[in-house]
């Protein structure tokens, strides 16, 4: 097995969490100056393109990576290495077809979606720019699913970083060039009417309004090229590595099934997973449409209420009345970006547990299954609780830190939205790992049912809350919380019933919740003291508050014995640290 890196749950999760954290840091470095460049309105166009891309991308490939990971893991556990290799080869062909189909479909729906559904025809070019991403990501996922099944998370992590770096560099360069070109055309006109990207403009505000859709499309083109770079890395790596299995393993392995039989096995697992993902993706798609349309409706029926509510922000950022719904949607997108940081990290735990839990479940090893389930729940809560309470306590200061210098108007809107998203962060953080664990124990139908119920809840509340002029965009996070609360509670009950494993809720939920709440209270108190009483600037106050909250969280976890041995041993020098903590009675 010299060519294959086999990792435990914690080491595999650590690789993905670290790589995902790096990707998110790179994404922040990318999105902050991007918003400075294209403003809230440009961010609205950017977000709207992602809203149609994400569900079609998910529908195109959902289920296949999980199916590959699970089948490869099960076959390796049974020493069927040739069959594991056959799964990979068959999956590559499936992904090729699905990727081409998904890209073509997105290109076909780009115009009707932009023109008729969200009523912003300017989004057409952004959607075309992101369409090839489906193909590149599908090809990448065939490799990632295979490597994850062999418990080697390094290729996934490295490809994610390459993709993110390419996106950041190219996206910023291309969007800057677009804005520079548009501004130079306007400046040369010297106050006379001039066409910028086909739109006749006369004022600076009109010129910016004409530039934003194309600058957003340029940024998205950088995302597409970054995905191409990640795909090429995985393809080249596989060619140079000579395969994941040794010659001896393949020779001593039994004859594999035919490609046709293998394909049926992949599809049999993938389809129920894809259906459950499809329900949530379609609901997110409808969610995006309802939010934008209900915002437009709220603007039509209560324009003065909305303009009065956000008067200072609209004035500071020079927003035209026609762009107000897109501008508000852009502010919403800023909050969504930060809200998604933690669930993206904890998603790595779900990916890591699939091969391990699937292997334990297939071999009826209930002890290992319980260990894996509890580890995922506990680590998810250890990450999600302090992040949620801390982000809620400092929601507006964090927004001010990131965007205040260039987009102060957006901060006033996005801060309260982030607060509403941050408090129930634990629900968002644990939703995907719970779904992955149900998939691993062959209950693909449960997430389908829970997501259907959650999606209906979300859409109904969007219609009621966002369409109310006095609530408008501020209602969107509350409908999301209701949706995920339904999903998580339903899935957790089903997982306990199916496995017969009842997690220790004190160690997995109560202890992290107590310490997380304490972290949030301390962070808020320190910020109030340093910024409000002493008068130190927002940047230093926010950083100091985050640091103090983190220290108190760590100390309180030690005193309530919130760390388990496995949690500590995943750290550098973890075994030595665990021994010391155990001696002084601080290990749970």
The predicted-structure confidence for 506-517, as pLDDT tens digits, reads as follows 888 999 999 999
Residue 220: both structure tokens together? 């998205």
Q: What mean pLDDT comes out for the span 134-152? A: 89
Percent share of the chain, pLDDT over 90: 49
Pick the more confident residue, 457 or 575.
457
Q: What mean pLDDT comes out for the span 295-317? A: 92
Q: What confidence category does residue 568 fall into, taking pLDDT thresholds of 50, 70 and 90? A: low
**SS3 of residue 105 by DSSP:** helix
276 pLDDT above the threshold of 80: no
Pick the more confident residue, 420 or 561.
420
Tens digit of each residue's pLDDT (9 = 90 or more) over 254-273: 999 998 999 998 888 777 76
Of 93, 68, 96, give the one whose Cα is nearest residue 83. Answer: 68
Q: What mean pLDDT comes out for the span 132-143? A: 92
First to last CA, the chain: 35
Report the chain's C-alpha Rg in angstroms.
24
Tens digit of each residue's pLDDT (9 = 90 or more) over 195-247: 999 999 999 999 999 999 999 999 999 999 999 999 999 999 988 887 778 88
| Mean predicted lDDT score pLDDT of the chain | 87
Query: Which helix (H) or strand (E) element contains residue 48?
Result: helix 9-61
Q: What confidence category does residue 10 fall into, taking pLDDT thresholds of 50, 70 and 90? A: low
Q: What confidence category does residue 566 fall into, taking pLDDT thresholds of 50, 70 and 90? A: low
Q: What are phi and psi of 419, to 5 degrees?
A: -55, -45
Task: Quote the CA–CA distance of 471 and 502 in Å, as a whole number.
Answer: 40
Instruction: Say if residues 12 and 155 touch (Cβ distance below 8 Å).
Output: no
Question: Domain locations in the chain?
Answer: 8-257, 271-503, 518-588
Q: What confidence category does residue 1 fall into, taking pLDDT thresholds of 50, 70 and 90? A: very low
Between the alpha carbon of residue 543 and those of residues 215, 410, 445, 548, the distances in Å are: 32, 21, 44, 9
pLDDT value for 26: 86
pLDDT value for 358: 77
Q: What mean pLDDT comes out for the span 354-383? A: 83
Residue 405: both structure tokens together? 């210098």
Poorest-pLDDT segment among 166-175, 189-198, 286-295, 456-465? 286-295
**SS3 of residue 119 by DSSP:** coil
pTM over 0.75: no
Q: Which residue pairs from 332-335 have beta carbons closer than 8 angstroms and sit at least 24 positions apart in sequence?
A: 332/47, 332/291, 332/414, 332/417, 332/473, 332/476, 333/43, 333/44, 333/46, 333/47, 334/35, 334/40, 334/43, 334/399, 334/403, 334/410, 334/414, 334/418, 335/399, 335/414, 335/417, 335/418, 335/421, 335/477
pLDDT value for 3: 47
Tens digit of each residue's pLDDT (9 = 90 or more) over 93-137: 998 998 999 999 999 999 998 988 888 899 999 999 999 999 999
Tens digit of each residue's pLDDT (9 = 90 or more) over 152-208: 888 988 999 999 999 999 999 999 999 999 999 999 998 899 999 999 999 999 999
2 pLDDT above the threshold of 50: no
Residue 319's contacts (CB-CB under 8 Å, 6 or more residues apart) are 40, 41, 313, 327, 409
Half-sphere exposure (Cβ direction) of 364: Cα atoms closer than 13 Å: 0
Highest mean pLDDT pick, 50-59, 220-229, 432-441: 220-229
477 pLDDT above the threshold of 70: yes
pLDDT value for 270: 79
544 pLDDT above the threshold of 70: yes
pLDDT value for 52: 84
Length of the chain: 588
Task: Quote the CA–CA distance of 118 and 359 in Å, as a whole number.
Answer: 45
pLDDT value for 317: 85
């Amino acid at each position: 097995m010299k060519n294959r890196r086999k990792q435990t749950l914690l080491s595999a999760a650590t690789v993905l969490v670290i790589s995902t954290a790096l990707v998110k840091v790179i994404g922040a470095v990318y999105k902050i100056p991007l918003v400075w460049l294209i403003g809230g309105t440009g961010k609205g166009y950017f977000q709207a393109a992602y809203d149609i891309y994400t569900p079609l991308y998910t529908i195109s490939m959902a289920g296949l990576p999980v199916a590959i990971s699970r089948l490869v893991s099960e076959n390796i556990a049974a020493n069927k290495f040739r069959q594991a290799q056959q799964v990979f080869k068959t999956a590559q062909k499936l992904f090729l077809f699905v990727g081409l189909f998904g890209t073509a479909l997105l290109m076909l729906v780009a115009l009707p979606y932009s023109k008729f559904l969200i009523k912003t025809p300017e989004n057409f070019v952004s959607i075309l720019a992101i369409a090839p991403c489906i193909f590149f990501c599908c090809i990448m996922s065939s490799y990632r699913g295979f490597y994850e099944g062999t418990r080697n998370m390094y290729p996934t992590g490295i490809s994610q970083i390459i993709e993110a770096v390419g996106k950041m560099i190219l996206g910023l360069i291309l969007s800057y060039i677009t804005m520079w070109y548009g501004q130079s055309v306007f400046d040369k006109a010297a106050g006379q009417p001039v066409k910028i990207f086909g739109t006749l403009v006369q004022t600076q505000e009109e010129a910016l309004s004409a530039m934003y859709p194309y600058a957003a499309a340029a940024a998205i083109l950088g995302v597409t090229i970054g995905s191409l770079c990640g795909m090429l890395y995985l393809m080249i790596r596989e060619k140079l590595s000579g395969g994941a299995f040794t010659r001896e393993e393949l020779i001593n392995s039994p004859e594999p099934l035919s490609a046709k039989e293998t394909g049926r096995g992949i599809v049999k697992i993938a389809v129920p997973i894809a259906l459950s993902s499809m329900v949530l993706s379609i609901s997110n798609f409808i969610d995006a449409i309802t939010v934008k349309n209900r915002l437009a409706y709220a603007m039509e029926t209560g324009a003065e209420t909305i303009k009065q509510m956000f008067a200072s922000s609209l004035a500071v950022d020079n927003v035209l009345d026609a762009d107000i719904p897109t501008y508000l949607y852009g502010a919403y997108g800023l909050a969504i970006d930060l809200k998604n940081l933690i669930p993206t990290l904890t998603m790595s735990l779900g990916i890591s547990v699939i091969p391990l839990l699937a292997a334990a479940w297939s071999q009826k090893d209930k002890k290992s299954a319980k260990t894996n389930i509890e580890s995922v729940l506990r680590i998810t809560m250890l990450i999600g609780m302090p992040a949620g309470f801390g982000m809620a306590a400092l929601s507006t200061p964090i927004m001010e830190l990131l965007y205040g210098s260039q987009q102060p108007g957006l901060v006033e809107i996005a801060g309260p939205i982030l607060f509403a998203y941050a408090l129930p962060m634990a629900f968002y953080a644990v939703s995907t790992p719970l779904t992955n664990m149900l998939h691993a124990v062959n209950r693909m139908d449960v997430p389908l049912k829970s997501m259907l119920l959650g999606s209906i809840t979300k859409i109904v509340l969007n219609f009621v809350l966002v369409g109310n002029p006095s609530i408008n965009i501020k209602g969107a996070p509350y409908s999301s919380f209701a949706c995920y609360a339904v999903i998580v509670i339903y899935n957790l009950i089903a997982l306990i019933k199916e496995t017969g494993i009842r997690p220790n809720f004190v160690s997995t939920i109560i202890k992290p919740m107590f310490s997380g709440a304490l972290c949030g209270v301390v962070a808020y108190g320190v910020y109030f003291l340093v910024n409000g009483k002493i008068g130190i600037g927002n940047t230093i106050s926010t950083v100091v508050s985050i640091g103090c909250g983190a220290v108190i969280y760590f100390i309180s976890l030690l005193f309530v014995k919130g760390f388990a041995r496995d949690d500590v041993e995943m750290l550098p020098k973890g075994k030595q640290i665990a021994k010391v903590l155990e001696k002084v009675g601080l290990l749970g």
